[in-house]
Every structure is written in structure tokens, then in C-alpha cells.
Amino acid sequence: MTNERHIATPTRTKELLQKYNFSFKKSLGQNFLIDTNILRNIIHHAGVTKESGAIEIGPGMGALTEQLAIAANKVLAFEIDQRLLPILEDTLSPYDNVQVRNEDILKADVQKELQQYFGDQEVKIVANLPYYITTPILMNLLTRELPISSITVMIQKEVANRMAASPNSKSYGSLSLAVQYYTEAAVVMTVPKTAFMPQPNVDSAVLHLELRKEAPVAVEDEKFFFELIQASFAQRRKTLRNNLNRHFSAKFSKEQLEDIMNEAGIDGTRRGESLAMDEFAALANTFTARS
């Protein structure tokens, strides 16, 4: 297939939109990529090879799917918009290693699909995610304990920076800690608005998440660990002491909270954004021991 016929070009994308009389749905956050080099770069950062399988979420008209079909052993794509199925059937017809499911990834039995379609093969998730639902999709995939080795996604640049942020930075917060508890996160490239049709209002970035084999910290109660983190960032400008007093006032007195922080070796005048993950773990475990 010649380069000119690849889906990810302005000409071919416009041609397909006209052929199928397709209109973009704002509610689904549809922005199609029109730059083949960017797609190949994403696949390179994802580490997809003929030895690996790939899952894609929201293939759109198949621009990334096509490049994945060329690079990977097998591809499984989940598309929620039924109107795109005939287009995908057309654009992906040259490739016999792709299957498209008309399903919502949040409701699909991904574990079962993985087993049936890929068997024992290493599987990576690669996707251009709709901005409005990025965090729910990623957190859903991370907490399901799926047998995947990495997730490489193009998302809103600001959100990518938050997910990969380090302590003491403006972007660091509960989302950074949640993502980094499950993965090693890195922003690997930025993508200009001009690479999309229609152009989004914000810049994009590619986030690479390498799944951890085990959690980076030992916590007694995972659910409480995340509750504590959320509480610590409830009001960013307030001290840890203020945020925790506000959240736990029904369970602990101010004196008890002070004791817990002292025992964990955490100064209550610090702000949540200054605490590293191991400090949150120490604080959570001290709380759990007192409960």
C-alpha cells in the first residue's frame, strides 16, 4: 500500500468523511489523526513489534489501527460508535490481523477477549483517547489487573503531565500518585493541534505507562491509602494538617491526627504536593494501625 493511500493524511481523511457522509460527534471527543509519522512514532515509543499484540481503544477511521496492523502481530480494536464500523471495514480490509469490536471498553470483558484473541502473547494497549474520558478509561484498565505489559496513549498534554508529575511540582496530585502506583509513567512526545482533524482546542502528548510487576510501596489498606491521598489534596493550598482535620474530623480528634502524623514522621505544616508516595504509604499504614 503506498503512502498516499494511508488513512492518516488530510486528503484520505477528507475523502472518507465525504464518502461515508460522516459527521464528528462532539460528545465522543472525535479528533482524527492526519499525520502518519506521528502514528509511527507512537508505535515506536510503545515498543510494538511482530512479537506483540496490540489493543486499541477508539480506532476512529483506522489511522492508528492501520499502522498497528503493519507493526504488530495482531490487533484488537474497541469502537463505541456504530457509524464507524462500515468505514473501518473498508479501510482495514487489506489487513487480516485486525478485529474490531463494537463495544465500550469500560463495559467489555477485556480479560476474556485478551485470552481468546491473543493467547499467551505479550499485549500492549496503544490508543488516541478521547479527552473527556481519559482518566476513567486509564484507571479502569489499571485497576483490572489485566495481563498487559504497557499502555501508550495520546491524551491532553496537561493530563499527561499530571499523570507523570513528581512531588513539589504544580502538576503533582492524587492522579499522579494513582497512576504511578500501578505504572512507571513518562511523557514521551508532544503532538501539535495541527496533526488532527478537526483540530482540538488543546495540545496533546503521548504518555507511556509501563505496568509494574508489584506496587512500589507496601500499604495495609489500598482503598484507605487512596482515600488519604484524595483528602490530602482536597484543597491544594491548605496544609496537610488542615486537609486531614477536615476529612477525618468524625473519626479522629485534632490531637489524635497530630499523633498519627508525628508517628509517621510527617510534618503537618507541609502540603500534600510535597509528599512522595512512600510518605503517603507510611502515613496511611499508621492510620490503619490506629483504626
- pLDDT score for 197: 84
- pLDDT score for 291: 79
pLDDT in tens, 104-130: 999 999 999 999 999 999 999 999 998
Binding-site residues sit at 31, 33, 58, 79, 104, 128
What are the chain's domains?
3-211 (3.40.50.150), 222-290 (1.10.8.100)
Q: At what angle do helices 174-182 and 134-143 cross, to 10 degrees?
A: 40
* Cβ proximity of 144 and 172 under 8 Å: no
Binding-site residues for S-adenosyl-L-methionine sit at 31, 33, 58, 79, 104, 128
Asked if the model's pLDDT at residue 86 lies above 50, the reply is: yes
Residues 209-220 have a mean pLDDT of 97
Asked if the model's pLDDT at residue 166 lies above 50, the reply is: yes
* Cβ proximity of 205 and 219 under 8 Å: no
- pLDDT score for 73: 98
State how far the Cα of 155 lies from the Cα of 157, in Å rounded to an integer. Answer: 6
Quick one: cell of 35?
Answer: 499525520
pTM for this prediction: 0.93
Residues 55-83 have a mean pLDDT of 96
- Average confidence score pLDDT of the chain: 94
Which residues, including other chains, have CB under 8 Å from residue 95's CB and lie 6 or more apart?
66, 69, 70, 75
